[in-house]
Amino acid sequence: MQDAITSVINSADVQGKYLDGSAMDKLKTYFATGELRVRAASVISANAAAIVKEAVAKSLLYSDVTRPGGNMYTTRRYAACIRDLDYYLRYSTYAMLAGDPSILDERVLNGLKETYNSLGVPVGSTVQAIQAMKEVTAGLVGADAGKEMGVYFDYICSGLS
């Protein structure tokens, strides 16, 4: 896993150089948003279950996936879906704190598309639910932190598609 700091330092080290102006600017932006990130993470963790629940209500309930024959039908599969959304929210929060998406590649997206395809989990509905979480989260943490979280929610969606 990388974060905004290690990623800037690693790329300078590869060239055997001190950080240049644009690398310093990246670090400055990251440090300047540190408090915003920490505050957003604590709001999200205090409201995680409610965020997932509201996103499901906005995107999946009463759709084809929850009806008989749908991939979320039966309590076991419904619970698996809620659990997956909770993973996406938690790992997006980690990535937002780190300011870097690499944790998503390593711990969430690795092999996920293949798993979903083999189990018939619909990617389109999953993306809709993640987009709904993005809206609900932005409503709670405010526009700036919401935009930053949006980067990582979108990263998961493009990794799935």
Ligand X SMILES: CCC1=C(C)/C(=C/C2=NC(=C\c3[nH]c(/C=C4\NC(=O)[C@H](C)[C@H]4CC)c(C)c3CCC(=O)O)/C(CCC(=O)O)=C2C)NC1=O
Contact residues toward ligand X (CB under 6 A) are 60, 65, 71-72, 77, 80-81, 84-85, 87, 107-108, 112, 115, 119, 121-122, 125-126, 129
CA 83 to CA 37: how far, in whole Å? 24
Half-sphere exposure of 129 (CA within 13 A, CB side): 28
Minimum CB distance to ligand X, residue 49 (Å): 15
Residue number, nearest CB to ligand X: 81
Question: From the DSSP assignment, how many helices (H) and strands (E) are in the chain?
Answer: 9, 0
Provide CB contacts within 8 A for 16, sequence distance 6+: none
Shorter beta-carbon distance to ligand X: residue 26 or 113 = 113
Shorter beta-carbon distance to ligand X: residue 84 or 100 = 84
Minimum CB distance to ligand X, residue 160 (Å): 9
Shorter beta-carbon distance to ligand X: residue 33 or 131 = 131
Minimum CB distance to ligand X, residue 57 (Å): 13
Provide CB contacts within 8 A for 106, sequence distance 6+: 1
Half-sphere exposure of 79 (CA within 13 A, CB side): 3
Shorter beta-carbon distance to ligand X: residue 36 or 73 = 73
CA 51 to CA 123: how far, in whole Å? 20
Minimum CB distance to ligand X, residue 29 (Å): 29
Minimum CB distance to ligand X, residue 148 (Å): 21
CA 35 to CA 41: how far, in whole Å? 10
Torsion region of 111: left, alpha or beta (phi above 0 gives left; psi -120 to 50 gives alpha) = left
Shorter beta-carbon distance to ligand X: residue 108 or 138 = 108
